[in-house]
Amino acid sequence: MKKKLLWLEDDALLGQILGKSLQATEFELIHVKDGVEAVKVLKEIVPDVVMVDLLVPGEIDGFGVLVEMNLDPRLKNVPKIVLSNLSNQADIDRARSLGANTFIVKAASSIDLIITEVRNQMTGK
C-alpha cells in the first residue's frame, strides 16, 4: 500500500510540476488547494506526511491547518513539512512551534530536494 501525502498548495504551476514528480514516486498524492479543504480531508484520513504552503486562499491558511492538526490526537504526530515562499525567521519559528518538522523555502529549493525531504519524513529519517 502506498504511503499517503496530503499536500496543500494553491499555485497551479507548482502544483502541476511537483504533483507529477510526486505521483511518479511511491506515494499516493492527495492535493488540496485551500486550508478548508485540507482540514476536511484530514477529518477523513490520517496521511503519513502533510506538506503545507502557508499562504493559501480561504478562511484557513497553512498555519491554521497546522493548528487544527495539533488539536486532533490522530494527527498530532503526523510529520509536517512547510513548503512556502515565506522566509522570515518569525514565520519559520511560528511554523516550527506548530509542529513543522521541516521548513523549505520554495524559491531556494529544487524539486529533487523537496521529494528527498518527503521521502525522509515518510521513513522517519
Q: What angle do CA 44, 32, 81 make, to 5 degrees?
A: 90
**pLDDT of 125 strictly over 70:** no
Nearest one of 43, 37, 5 to 21, comparing CA atoms: 5
pLDDT at 25: 72
The CA distances from residue 59 to 26, 29, 36, 94, in Å, are: 32, 23, 7, 19
**pLDDT of 22 strictly over 80:** no
CB-facing half-sphere around the CA of 4: CA atoms within 13 A: 11
Q: How far apart are CA 58 and CA 125, in angstroms?
A: 33
Max CA pair span of the chain = 38
Q: Which domain holds residue 7?
A: 3-21+49-123
Per the structure, how many domains does the chain have?
A: 1
**28 found inside a domain:** no
pLDDT at 107: 87
CATH of the domain at 97: 3.40.50.2300
**39 found inside a domain:** no
Report which residue type is found at 62: G
**pLDDT of 24 strictly over 80:** no
Distance of CA 114 to the CA centre of its chain: 11
pLDDT at 60: 97
- To the nearest whole number, what is the mean pLDDT of the chain? 91
